Structure 1
Amino acid sequence: MVAEGLAEAGERRIGWAARAMPVLTALGERFAGERPFDGLRIAACLHVTAETAVLLGALRAGGAEIALAASNPLSTQDDVAAALETYGIAVHARAGVDRGTYYRHIHQALDISPNIVLDDGCDLVNILHTERVELLDTVAGGCEETTTGIIRLRQMASENALRFPVVAVNDTRTKRMFDNRYGTGQSTLDGIMRATNVLLAGRTVVVAGFGFCGRGVAERARGLGARVIVTEIDPVKALDATLQGYEVQPMGRAAEIGDVFVTVTGNRDVIRAEHLAAMKDGVILANAGHFDVEIDVRALEEAATAVRFGIRPNTDEYVMADGRRLLLLSEGRLVNLTAAEGHPAAVMDMSFSAQALAVAWLARSTWLAEESVRLPPGVHDVPAEIDAEVARLKLAAADVEIDTLTDAQERYLHSWRLGS
C-alpha cells in the first residue's frame, strides 16, 4: 500500500476510535478554541495506536508542536503513524523495528528539544537523564502513563536523580479503576485468544500480580469459565485475592498445574528457569506487564532445543529437551497491544482525557508559571478535580445522572461539631 493509502487507512481507524472517545474529542474542541499549548514543544514515547492519535490530535489542536516515538515497536500501527504525519506531528516509529532502532527513534523525538514529555514506561525520561542531559534545562515537566514507569520514576526521585516534575497519570482513579482493570482485563484475554484460539473454559489460568491490571485479567478469565490461580508477593493483595475466591499460590507450585500464564506485575523474572522446567506440555506464556522482562525469555531460549517461530501469528513454540512445548506469545512483550489492539477506545477516552488535562495543568504549573511557584522536581499526583472532571464528562456523554449534595449535607461533612 502506498503511503497515501496507508494514511487514509489510518485516518479511518482513528475516526472509528474517536467515535468511542467523546470526552477527549470535546477536550480537543475546547483546546482548539483556547490554544493553551501555543509555543509548547512535546516529545512523546507512547504506543502508536488510533487512541493515542486522538490524544495527540487534541494536543495539536491546542497549539502544541509534537514529536512521537513508539513505546513498543510491536504495538505500532503503521497506518496510524502515516495519518499522524498528515496532522503535522513528527512520527519516529515503525512496526517491528529492532531494539537499536527503537532507541534511535526516541532520540529523534527528543531532538525537538521538548518543554513537556509524555512517557509510557520511563524509557524517554531515562534517556533524557543519561544520554541527552543537554536537553534537561528546557524540560519543564512530564506525564507518565504506566505502573512500571511510575516505579522507575519514584526510584529516581528517591535518589534525587529526577530533574523535573512528572505527573503520575497512571495513579488517577479513572485510570486504575477503568483502564487498568477493565481495559487490561479484556484486551489481554483478547490477545491470548487471537494468538492461540484457546478455549479458556475449564483451563487453569495463572495470573501473576493482583494489582488493578491483574484483577481485571483474573475477573475476565473467571467469567469465561477458567480456574484462576493468583501469585503475589504483597500479603494485602494476596489476602484480597483470597477473599475474592481465587486460589493463591507461589509461582513454584502454580507452574506445575497452570495451562495459561499471564504476568502483570511490572517487575522482572516473574517466570524464571525453574518455573519453565516445571511446566506442562503446551502451556501458554503471555505478558501484560509492559516490558518484556517479566517472563525470562533468555532462559526459555537457553532451555529450548528448537524454536518454531510464527507457528501462529504472535505465537512461537519452544521445544524443550524432554519434548515439552511451551508457547510464548508476542515475544514476551505486551500481548494485549501486539496480538490484539490494546484497550477499547471507550476506556482510553478516560485515561487520555486525564492525560490531556494533566498536560494543560502541568503547562500552567511549570512552563507558564513564575519560577517561584513552579512544581518542584519529583513525582506528583494528578489533582483530584481533574479526575472528577473526567468522570463527570464521561457520565454526561453516557447520559447518566447522579445526585449532588444538599447544603445541609455539605455543612455536615465539613463540620466536626455536628455529631450523630
Structure 2
Amino acid sequence: MSTTTVAKGQDYQVKDIGLADFGRKEITIAEHEMPGLMAVREKYAAEQPLAGVRVMGSLHMTIQTAVLIESLSALGAQVRWCSCNIFSTQDHAAAAIAEAGYPVYAWKGETLEEYWDCTLNALSFPDGQGPQLIVDDGGDATLLIHKGYELEEGSDWVETESGNHEEQVIKDLLK
C-alpha cells in the first residue's frame, strides 16, 4: 500500500484537498489557453446536450483534464473520473476538481491496488449504474468492464492464478 495519506471525502480520493486553491488558479489559466473547448462550453451550455448522461473518464488527471471535466458537466453530464496512470496525476488539479464536487479518484504515486480500486470507483455511479460514455486513455476502464461482463456470463477467469502481478490485482478486485 502507498505510504501517502489520501484525503477521502464524500465521493473522492485525492492526495491533499488543501491544494485545491492552487489547482483552481491553474484551471482558470488553462481555460484561457483552451479557447476551442471554452467556445463549445459557452455555445452549448444553455442547451444541455449531455443532460443526465453518465460520463466516466480514465485520463491523465491534469489541469487540462480538469477543464474537460468541468466542460462536460457544464453541458449537463454527470462525471466521475480517475487517472489512467499511477504517476501522471497533478495533485492540485485533482484537489480542485474534488473540492468543486466532482467524484475524482486520483493521486500521484498510486499503488497498482489503489489504481484499479480508483478505476472501479470511477466506473460506479450512484444506484449501481454504470457509465453511458467512457473517455479511456489506455483502455484500462474498458478492460475492467469487459472482464466484469465475462464474469457475469460465468467466466472463471478470476479463479485461475496469474503469473503477472497486475493481472492478479485485477482478479482480486473483481472477485
**What TM-score, normalized by structure 1, do the two folds share?**
0.31
Look up the equivalent residue of 2:25 and give its one-letter code.
Answer: R
Equivalent of 2:94 in 66, 81, 94: 81
Equivalent of 1:101 in 114, 117, 121: 114
Equivalent of 1:126 in 134, 138, 143: 143
Match of 2:105 in 1: 92
Q: Displacement of 1:27 after TM fit?
A: 0.9
Give yes or no for contact 1:44–1:119 (8 Å, CA) kept in 2: yes
Give yes or no for contact 1:69–1:109 (8 Å, CA) kept in 2: yes
**Bigger Rg, structure 1 or 2:** 1
Deviations 1:150-193 (A, max 9, x none): xxxxxxxxxxxxxxxxxxxxxxxxxxxxxxxxxxxxxxxxxxxx
Q: Which has the higher strand share?
A: 1
The structure with higher relative contact order (CA 8 Å, sep 6+) is: 2
- Mapped to 1, the partners of 2:66 and 2:144 lie a distance apart of 24
SS of 1:108's equivalent in the other structure is: helix
Give yes or no for contact 1:31–1:59 (8 Å, CA) kept in 2: no
Look up the equivalent residue of 2:131 and give its one-letter code.
Answer: P
- Mapped to 2, the partners of 1:31 and 1:68 lie a distance apart of 22
Give yes or no for contact 2:16–2:95 (8 Å, CA) kept in 1: no
Match of 2:160 in 1: none
Match of 1:68 in 2: 81
Look up the equivalent residue of 1:118 and give its one-letter code.
Answer: V
Question: Please, which runs of 5 or more residues in structure 2 have no aligned partner?
Answer: 1-14, 153-175
Give yes or no for contact 1:57–1:87 (8 Å, CA) kept in 2: no
Q: Displacement of 1:90 after TM fit?
A: 0.4
- Mapped to 1, the partners of 2:45 and 2:150 lie a distance apart of 33
Q: Displacement of 1:28 after TM fit?
A: 1.2
Q: Displacement of 1:40 after TM fit?
A: 0.6
- Mapped to 1, the partners of 2:103 and 2:85 lie a distance apart of 17
- Mapped to 2, the partners of 1:18 and 1:50 lie a distance apart of 9
CA spacing shift, 1:68–1:18, aligned 2, 3 Å: same
- Mapped to 2, the partners of 1:107 and 1:2 lie a distance apart of 21
Q: Displacement of 1:42 after TM fit?
A: 0.8
Q: Displacement of 1:134 after TM fit?
A: 8.2
Question: Please, which runs of 5 or more residues in structure 1 have no aligned partner?
Answer: 136-420
Look up the equivalent residue of 2:28 and give its one-letter code.
Answer: G
Structure-to-structure mapping, 1:187-266, within 5 angstroms: none
Structure-to-structure mapping, 1:259-408, within 5 angstroms: none
Deviations 1:328-386 (A, max 9, x none): xxxxxxxxxxxxxxxxxxxxxxxxxxxxxxxxxxxxxxxxxxxxxxxxxxxxxxxxxxx
Look up the equivalent residue of 2:140 and give its one-letter code.
Answer: D
Deviations 1:219-273 (A, max 9, x none): xxxxxxxxxxxxxxxxxxxxxxxxxxxxxxxxxxxxxxxxxxxxxxxxxxxxxxx
Look up the equivalent residue of 1:36 and give its one-letter code.
Answer: P
CA spacing shift, 1:51–1:133, aligned 2, 3 Å: farther
SS of 2:76's equivalent in the other structure is: coil
- Mapped to 1, the partners of 2:75 and 2:36 lie a distance apart of 15
SS of 1:75's equivalent in the other structure is: coil
Match of 1:9 in 2: 22
Q: Displacement of 1:88 after TM fit?
A: 2.7
CA spacing shift, 1:37–1:98, aligned 2, 3 Å: same
Q: Displacement of 1:6 after TM fit?
A: 1.0
Q: Displacement of 1:26 after TM fit?
A: 1.1
Give yes or no for contact 1:38–1:63 (8 Å, CA) kept in 2: yes
**What TM-score, normalized by structure 2, do the two folds share?**
0.71
- Mapped to 2, the partners of 1:99 and 1:132 lie a distance apart of 22
- Mapped to 1, the partners of 2:25 and 2:85 lie a distance apart of 22
- Mapped to 1, the partners of 2:124 and 2:97 lie a distance apart of 18
CA spacing shift, 1:97–1:29, aligned 2, 3 Å: same
Name the Cα RMSD after superposition: 1.9
Equivalent of 2:134 in 86, 105, 117: 117
- Mapped to 2, the partners of 1:96 and 1:71 lie a distance apart of 12
SS of 1:117's equivalent in the other structure is: strand
Question: Deviating runs (4+, > 3 A) in structure 1?
Answer: 132-135
Structure-to-structure mapping, 1:9-88, within 5 angstroms: 9-88=22-101
CA spacing shift, 1:31–1:134, aligned 2, 3 Å: farther
Look up the equivalent residue of 1:15 and give its one-letter code.
Answer: T
Q: Displacement of 1:39 after TM fit?
A: 1.0
